[in-house]
Amino acid sequence: MKNAGSRLSIKRAKTCIALLATSVSPGAWAELTYSSQKASVTFYGVVDVAYAYVSNRDGHADNTYMAQSNLLANKLGLSGTYDFNENTQALARAETNLDVRKGKLGAPGVFLNRQAFAGISDKRYGTLTMGRQYTPYFQYVGGQGPANVLTGATGTHPGDIIAMDTTLRLTNAFTYASPKIRDWQGSVQYGLARRIGNGWNGGSLSAAVRYDHEGFAWSAGYVQLNKLATTSAVATFAMNAPINRGYASADNAKLLGTAARYRFGKKMVGLNYANIRYAPGPASLFTDTAVFNSYGIISNYALTPAMTLAAGYSYTAEAACNGLSSLARYQQLSLEQLYVLNEYVALYALQAYQKASGKTLRTIGGVSTIVDATASVGDSQNGMPSSGPSQGVAMLGVRFKF
């Protein structure tokens, strides 16, 4: 709802902010926009739920459950802009997760756990923002990766080890994004170090570049998280997934990724790759830098204006280190069928299967132990991995977005 002729008062803006700060019940993507000649504030949200079946949930007798945040994360948000002139504007965004299954915030203790930042944007000089933000690596490379085309729940690589889903955000972060120059754009971000007890957790860095021309898009990016156990990236970074769990004690993590897509007519094909390194520190429970290489291919096809079919395949391999001989390998196939009823509501079905083989590390009782690699489909089963080498997931769901 837009009121183009109304003036946005400071009182009204404060009212919108108060709505976000006090709202904990899911409101199926309720969008409310106030605008004037210079300022606008928008309140928005998403509810995304599905009935899910998983072939193997270690420790769970029931293999069916309600899944959420599959196509888009459940969230409430507030965004605003103020135009100083035709080139320059102030901007801000505040966004939090929702757990619609339990009717509460998705991250207890961290209210605005998704995004909370403010900044200045200029068409000539670029954009500078400060606060809690997604990394340029995610914005550029993740935007061309599997989670955006398929679904973050079952389409991303095992455990989202490539961090191309929404698992990685930096707090206390400064981000600069250049204006688009011809078909190129770049961005860099630095997350400030924070004092933890008698030490510092170390700063974090991300940078990325992208190129867009007609139907072709390419991007490359880098992330470095220092002092991983106490990093200012207040997010899981999928360290609860079996593929990463043995390296949660790493001193730092470095990710280098690239992705490309080409769209022609109703079809799109894309490729993506990421190199992930976990370096040990004095307190780490492993000795050698752990290296993973993950490759993927994605495609979708617009069967009708309302119906889209998508598919993706990924292959992730661990390199030799830490006494491992038979190295872990993960292969995953993901499918999606999306039917958009209108601009607010969509129905979807998801299917995915993952096969794991070889050996990896796992921390058990404070000791690093070599174990069999186990399957965990995408991000959806990070906390509910298989007890064996394979796992299948199927979902039927609905997404509200308005």
Provide the pLDDT for residue 212: 96
Q: CA dist 117 to 97, 131, 243, 335, 342, Å?
A: 16, 4, 32, 35, 31
Query: pLDDT tens track of the chain, all 402 residues?
Result: 334 333 334 344 444 444 434 343 333 333 455 556 788 999 999 999 999 999 988 767 678 999 998 888 899 999 999 999 999 999 999 998 888 888 777 666 667 878 899 999 999 999 999 999 999 999 999 989 888 777 778 998 988 889 888 777 888 899 999 999 999 999 999 988 665 555 556 678 999 999 999 999 999 999 998 877 665 554 445 566 788 888 888 888 899 999 999 999 999 999 999 999 999 888 888 888 999 999 999 999 999 999 999 999 999 999 878 888 889 999 999 999 999 999 999 999 999 999 999 999 887 777 888 899 999 998 888 778 888 899 999 999 999 987
7/116 Cα distance (integer angstroms): 25
Q: Is residue 12 part of a domain?
A: no
Number of domains in the chain: 1
Instruction: Give the range of the structural domain holding residue 137, as residue numbers without chain letter.
Output: 44-401
Contact 277, 253 (CB under 8 A): yes
CB under 8 Å to 102, separation ≥6 — which residues?
Answer: none
Q: Is residue 3 part of a domain?
A: no
Provide the pLDDT for residue 375: 92
CB under 8 Å to 48, separation ≥6 — which residues?
Answer: 68, 69, 70, 71, 72, 73, 74, 397, 398, 399, 400
Three-state DSSP string of 28-56: CCCCEEEECCCEEEEEEEEEEEEEEEECC
Q: Is residue 5 part of a domain?
A: no
In a 3-state reduction of DSSP, which class is residue 186?
Answer: strand
Q: Is residue 81 part of a domain?
A: yes
Provide the pLDDT for residue 16: 42
Q: CA dist 219 to 184, 191, 264, Å?
A: 10, 22, 19
Secondary element (H or E) of residue 243: helix 242-245
Q: pTM for the complete prediction?
A: 0.85
Q: Is residue 55 part of a domain?
A: yes
Provide the CA 220 distance to its chain's centre, in angstroms. 16
Q: Is residue 23 part of a domain?
A: no
| Domain CATH code at residue 266 | 2.40.160.10
Segment 206-210 long-range contacts (CB within 8 Å, at least 24 positions apart): 206/135, 206/136, 206/137, 206/170, 207/136, 207/137, 208/135, 208/136, 208/137, 208/139, 208/140, 208/141, 209/140, 209/184, 209/185, 210/140, 210/143, 210/144, 210/184, 210/185, 210/186
Provide the pLDDT for residue 81: 94
Q: Is residue 211 part of a domain?
A: yes
Q: Is residue 63 part of a domain?
A: yes
